[in-house]
Amino acid sequence: MSEQPLVDTHVHVFTRDMPLVGKPRHRPAYDFTHQDLIATLDAHGVPFAVLAAASPWGDYNDCMLAALRAHPRRLRATAILAPTVGRYELEGMAGDGFLGVRLPFMGVSELPDITSFDYRRFLRRLADLDWHVHLHIEGARLPAVLPAIEGSGVRLVLDHMGRPEPETGVGGPGFKAMLAALERGRTWVKLSAAYRQGAQSDDYARELVRSAGPDRLMWASDCPFVGCEREVTYQQTVDWLVRCVPDPQARRKVFGETALGFYFGETLAGKPRA
């Protein structure tokens, strides 16, 4: 391939002794530190990455904070926070490179009421600060939550191709709701975690490129592939995108041009985002 990824928009850092929430989805028995992450990025020629908070550790964002402070030019992050967080704390976190809040709704038996005052205030604060919501949820639930999030005015990034319903795929109500949100212009989607999506992952990615175009799509590795470490390599996530997005101009946008502007406020020419 003629180009390398510019921005990996979804990676994790953690240590095995970090405090876990009750009944976590994963319990990694190893460390993946920011030193490990940077070594992985360097080995694959990737200059920038975005740290994603993960549900097993709740709002313990300290490991990501250390990574941001160690690599302020190369890393940005999304945090998990309680909806009651104050503006002063958000402003302080922004100074260290946090620029979004991840809502870890995947697998939650009962979704929180995002029309409540706490959530309406929370989303308004994020919009006022130009932060974004980084949403991880089953595709089947998207139609239920998108209206309230979009109505707040906050920008939205959907994880892992929107986690489509495997039974209905690109024809399902969740996938259609995602495409409609993309068309409205305040939503972006990560082409990531294909190894978690099954045999239809290529179809999801190709349909997103065909319907939404590359300006709303961003590639991510999901490194270090928690729960599937022995099944996936970093290079495979790169090769997957090359296969699914054969057009080199579109691929260049998905591999980093779009994400560079979204997360780092820059274009390839180094100019500030308008």
Tens digit of each residue's pLDDT (9 = 90 or more) over 11-45: 999 999 999 999 898 999 999 999 999 999 999 99
Does residue 1 carry a pLDDT above 90? no
Percent of the chain with pLDDT over 70: 96
Q: Which of 2-6, 165-169, 185-189, 263-267 ranks highest by mean pLDDT?
A: 185-189
Task: Look at residue 139 and tell me whether its pLDDT is greater than 80.
Answer: yes
What fold is seen in the domain 7-264? TIM Barrel (3.20.20)
Is residue 273 scored above 50 in pLDDT? no
Confidence of residue 4 (pLDDT cuts 50, 70, 90): confident
Q: Which two tokens stand for residue 214?
A: 């590359």
Q: How do the domains of the chain map onto residue ranges?
A: 7-264
- pLDDT (mean) for 39-59: 97
**Rounded average pLDDT over 146-166:** 97
Q: For 74-100, write each residue's pLDDT tens digit.
A: 999 999 999 999 999 999 999 999 999
What's residue 267's pLDDT? 52
Q: What's the whole-number mean pLDDT along residues 202-227?
A: 97
Residue 117: closest CA among 107, 127, 125: 125
